[in-house]
Amino acid sequence: MAKSRLVQKDLISNVSHELRTPVSILKAQLENLADGIDKPTPALFEQMLDTTNQMSDLIEFFLDLSRLQEGKQFLNLSVFKIGDYLEECISSLTYLTRAKNIQFIIDVQPADLSIMADKNRLRQIVINLVTNAIKYSLGTSKIIIQVLQDGKNNLIRFIDFGPGIPKKTRKKLFARFTRGDISQQGGTGLGLAISQWAATLHKGKLDILDSKEGAIFELKFPKNF
């Protein structure tokens, strides 16, 4: 089979695999409610909401992938408070963090900073990088998102305290379908490629910085387009 056909086939089976898990969880929860096995408690509805958020993140991910493949350049820019926005992004990820006791630190300088960006594309970058930080930091429990401005640029850094990424593998990880030394079942190797695409649309760039400990991803894009 030609390489691109193989890649397509892999992708479809990964997508199906990733969607199957939340769909079957939600189905079981609804069946138990319908049969009267479970009582409709707020906690159960919260779990079901988590699962639904997980599915909607996956769907957004694949919509962005198809936008990337079509080479769409369209940005829908607005000005918003980045601190509040990051809180919102993180709060939709409780399906990943609930059992793990992860501490998020959102450090925005100055605290009420507003920036201009495309909220949907930026959200994909945040979700992809935070999901990676959770997945690959192997039980370390702190993730920092730092926002600052330098001269003409916005800088958003995603910092974790896991094993980090060796210098020699860093560049290739941004290519589509490429996974690193530490990978976990069910991934697609597309998260960083989609994030780099979204950064480029903002006339910016996503880089991995040197660090003593863990991984630091830095998104840099101009304050004004």
Ligand X SMILES: Nc1ncnc2c1ncn2[C@@H]1O[C@H](COP(=O)(O)OP(=O)(O)O)[C@@H](O)[C@H]1O
Residue 179 interacts with, from Mg ion, ligand X, none (CB under 5-8 Å by kind)? ligand X
Q: How far apart are the first and last CA of the chain?
A: 44
CA 33 to centroid of chain Cα atoms: 31
Binding residue for ligand X, selected from 22, 83, 191, 204, defined by CB under 6 A:
191
Q: Phi, psi (5° rounding) for residue 85?
A: -60, -45
CB of 162 to ligand X, least distance (A): 5
Report 188-217 residues binding Mg ion (CB under 5 A): 191
Report 5-64 residues binding Mg ion (CB under 5 A): none
Q: Select from 3-11, 35-43, 48-56, 128-136 the region that touches ligand X (CB under 6 A).
A: 128-136
CB of 160 to ligand X, least distance (A): 5
Q: Is 57 in the site for ligand X (CB under 6 A)?
A: no
Integer Rg of the chain from CA = 18
Q: Which residue is nearest to ligand X (CB)?
A: 180
Is-contact 113 147, C-beta < 8 A? yes
Q: Residue 98: how many CA atoms within 13 Å on its side-chain side?
A: 12
> Which amino acid belongs to residue 100?
K
Binding residue for Mg ion, selected from 51, 132, 195, 196, defined by CB under 5 A:
132
Which stretches of the chain bind Mg ion, using CB under 5 A?
A: 132, 191
Which stretches of the chain bind ligand X, using CB under 6 A?
A: 128, 132-133, 136, 160, 162, 165, 173, 179-183, 187-192, 215
